Amino acid sequence: MLDALDKKLLRTVADLEGIPKGAYNIRKNGKLLARDVSANINIETNADGTGIIVTIKPGTVNESVHIPVILSQAGLYDVVYNNFIIGEGSDVTIIAGCGIHCGGLEPEGHAGIHEFQVGRKAKVTYVEKHFATGPGRGRRTLNPTTKVFLAEGAQAEMELTQIGGVDEANRVNEAILGPNSVLLITERVMTEGEQTAVSRNEIVLSGENSRANMVSRSVMKGDSKQNFYATMDAQAKCFGHIECDAIIIDNGTNETIPALKAKHPDAELTHEASIGKIASDQLTKLMSLGLTYDEAVNRIIQGFLK
């Protein structure tokens, strides 16, 4: 059912060696390839057949769902709408990811629109990896959107990674935080050659004592370009922080625009941003430990994107 190429893509984007255990939904070239549900996690196709609805029963703990997408069909642009309903008091991990293998000249792409309803005191960890490969010169596009709604006391931890090979990415992350909820987003993007990546983040801290932390790490190699926009909109007593660091290698360019909006007198918002080449003291230190210049660069980037 899975060929060697599928397995390679799955291993890269979902750390899967084959069909996973527990609940999963594997989508290949715009169609369902395999699915399984568990006692607490249900997966069904939505009414208009454009995506899936993953429903997690209240109180489900220590379970995970894998929902990888793999593309290896030239000329396909796959759009999918997925909904996640995470029941009260549950604690689950969702592993998504998209792997594209492009063998020809025609473009391939995927847009995943993921919406999360995280119930009261529920906790979700969402891991998403994007990766493209293949000998073809067709343009590979990935345009993911995540929308997160956190109920009272809910927590969401999102790890969004674009490892390499993606020519164009337009990412949108939106979140609305209820009272006492916590959101942590870590985004890591590496681009090279002529690639471009744009990330737009709109985080609304609407509930009292909500907390959000957005961490962005960007590496631009070659002539690639990345833009990062993040807005923390504080509408209650809350805490928000944006940390965005970009490392330029070669001739990469970057625009980073963090925005803080305090619409409540007790809002506490901070940001730190940096763009630049690798600090020379870091390179010198690693070279003094015996690494070559190139090895030192790689090691620093590897840590930075870890």
Q: Measured from the CB atom, is 102 or 247 closer to another protein?
A: 247
Q: How many CB atoms lie within 10 A of CB 292?
A: 10
Q: How far is the CB of 8 from another protein (least distance, A)?
A: 26
- Residue of 71, 72, 65 whose CA lies nearest to 114: 65
Q: Measured from the CB atom, is 53 or 301 closer to another protein?
A: 301
Q: How far is the CB of 223 from another protein (least distance, A)?
A: 24
Residues within the interface to another protein (CB under 8 A): 217, 245, 279, 281-282, 284-293, 299-300, 302-306
Q: Measured from the CB atom, is 3 or 281 closer to another protein?
A: 281
Contact (Cβ atoms closer than 8 angstroms) between residue 44 and residue 67:
no
- Distances 74 to 32, 231, 262 between C-alpha atoms, Å: 18, 36, 47
Cα 255 to chain centroid, rounded: 19
Q: How far is the CB of 299 from another protein (least distance, A)?
A: 7
298: left (phi over 0), alpha (psi -120 to 50) or beta: alpha
Place of tokens 């060929």: 3
Q: Measured from the CB atom, is 64 or 282 closer to another protein?
A: 282
Q: How far is the CB of 180 from another protein (least distance, A)?
A: 26
Tell me how many helices (H) and strands (E) the chain has. Answer: 3, 20
Q: Measured from the CB atom, is 117 or 282 closer to another protein?
A: 282
Q: How far is the CB of 304 from another protein (least distance, A)?
A: 5
Q: How far is the CB of 186 from another protein (least distance, A)?
A: 11
State the Cα–Cα distance between residues 122 and 193, nearest whole angstrom.
Answer: 41
Q: Measured from the CB atom, is 92 or 286 closer to another protein?
A: 286
Residue 213 neighbours by CB under 8 Å, 6+ apart: 183, 184, 185, 240, 241, 243
- If you ran DSSP here, which 8-state letter would residue 49 be given? S
Q: How far is the CB of 188 from another protein (least distance, A)?
A: 10
Q: Measured from the CB atom, is 31 or 306 closer to another protein?
A: 306
Strands 23-28 and 155-164: unpaired
